[in-house]
Amino acid sequence: MLIVYNNVHPRHHGRVEMFRGALVEGVEVPARVERVRQELVRRGMGRFELPGEMDLALLNKVHAPSFVAFLRGAWEEWVALDPGNAGRDALPSYWPIRAFRSDVVPDSFVARLGQYTFDAGTPLTAGSWDAACEGANCAITAARRVLAGEPAAFALTRPPGHHAGRDYFGGYCFLNNAALAAQALRDGGAQRVAILDVDYHHGNGTQTIFYDRPDVLFVSIHADPRTDYPYYIGYPEETGAGLGEGFNVNLPLPRGTDGAAWCRALEMALQRIQAFKADALVVSLGVDTYEGDPISGFRLTHDDFLRVGSRLGRLAMPTVLVFEGGYAVDDIGINTANVLQAYLSEG
């Protein structure tokens, strides 16, 4: 399979994240992507390519230009607050919730930091912009290669993307790689694009970016937000708005869900995608549904990932796969490569 690889991903390496009142070591580490790369090389199943020139116009179409500008300059502003900050990740402490003003843009950097994110678990570091921007570029390049006739392509990148909205980051995500791939497919001539999000967590960013649009169907299988991150969004009654009504599908499942029950939800998701008659598919491929994942609660096995891959391969749709979550580093290569290998074996 064509793998569009982000070779600058290690520039983003958070030192700490806020967890239950403590600053703890993060789980979204560079080894995640390196383990996947190693396993694909070991199996001899990846053609690795680097992305081309970044399309900033597309970035500024999917994301708010003010947000993009903020992210690009955030590290410099953070260090300008205090030279000592160069040795510390930027984490927010203030958020403008509900009754607060949403129409003001304070001068204070920490105030703006809180406007552009929704948690204190997503450290912004010196190289976060470089890594996220090149990752976005990988997803866009993968989409363009598929438009040019490649049957499928995998954007192998971190930080992940599906929690990032039009004007906010969070959940370890800065730029929404899957949304950028979907928009690139649309702009390249695909009339209808479906996004299938199989990460353990709800892809709130992707959902909100396309919420009022009928041309991009978003379908997500994820842990019930009543018990799991991102908690405040991802419920089944969120079905889209305006012209987009009916083009958003959330399929939450309880903690403890095993491969058999998960695959039944996948069948429902695929039924909806096939009824939509999508010209192309984007898969937000998180493997944190794995039974050994340290921060998640589903029970998919190595073999279940083979099943998932072959089921997706049988769709025989032009497909862009984008890497999202998965934190069981010792198994992340096996699980991801299992999906891709089984996908290819159906081709």
Question: Segment 183-212, which members bind Zn ion (CB under 5 A)?
Answer: 199-201
Residue 121 touches which member of Zn ion, ligand OKS, none, C-beta under 5-8 Å by kind: ligand OKS
Comparing CB distances to ligand OKS, the nearer of 55 and 228 is 228
Residue 17 touches which member of ligand OKS, Zn ion, none, C-beta under 5-8 Å by kind: ligand OKS
Q: Catalytic one among 13, 163, 201, 202?
A: 163
Binding site for ligand OKS (CB under 6 A): 17, 19, 121, 160, 162-163, 171-172, 199, 201, 229, 286, 288, 295, 324-325
Indicate which single residue of 270, 325, 334, 339 sits in contact with Zn ion (rule: CB under 5 A).
Answer: 325
Residue 225 touches which member of Zn ion, ligand OKS, none, C-beta under 5-8 Å by kind: none
CB–CB of 238/207 below 8 Å? yes
Q: For ligand OKS, which residue has the nearest CB?
A: 325
288 interacts with Zn ion by CB under 5 A: yes
Q: Which of 343, 328, 320 lies closest to 3 in space, CA to CA?
A: 320
Minimum CB–partner distance for residue 218 and ligand OKS (Å): 15
Minimum CB–partner distance for residue 182 and Zn ion (Å): 18
Comparing CB distances to ligand OKS, the nearer of 32 and 37 is 32
Minimum CB–partner distance for residue 66 and ligand OKS (Å): 25
Minimum CB–partner distance for residue 230 and Zn ion (Å): 10
What is the phi/psi pair of residue 221, to 5°? -110, 120
Three-state secondary structure along the chain? CEEEECCCHHHCCCCCEEECCEEECCCCCCHHHHHHHHHHHHCCCCEEECCCCCCHHHHHHHCCHHHHHHHHHHHHHHHHHCHHHHHCCECCCCCCCCCCCCCCCCCCHHHHHHHCECCCCCCECCCHHHHHHHHHHHHHHHHHHHHCCCCEEEEECCCCCCCCECCEEECCECCCHHHHHHHHHHHCCCCCEEEEECCCCCCHHHHHHCCCCCCEEEEEEEECCCCCCCCCCCCCCCCCCHHHCCCEEEEEECCCCEHHHHHHHHHHHHHHHHHHCCCEEEEEECCCCECCCCCCCCEECHHHHHHHHHHHHHCCCCEEEEECCCCCHHHHHHHHHHHHHHHHHCC
5 interacts with Zn ion by CB under 5 A: no
Query: Is residue 201 flagged as an active site residue?
Result: no
Minimum CB–partner distance for residue 83 and ligand OKS (Å): 28
CB–CB of 199/222 below 8 Å? yes
Comparing CB distances to ligand OKS, the nearer of 199 and 224 is 199
Minimum CB–partner distance for residue 222 and ligand OKS (Å): 8
252 interacts with Zn ion by CB under 5 A: no
Comparing CB distances to ligand OKS, the nearer of 114 and 160 is 160
Comparing CB distances to ligand OKS, the nearer of 134 and 199 is 199
Comparing CB distances to Zn ion, the nearer of 183 and 289 is 289
User: What is the binding site for Zn ion (CB under 5 A)?
Assistant: 199-201, 286, 288, 325
Catalytic residues: 163
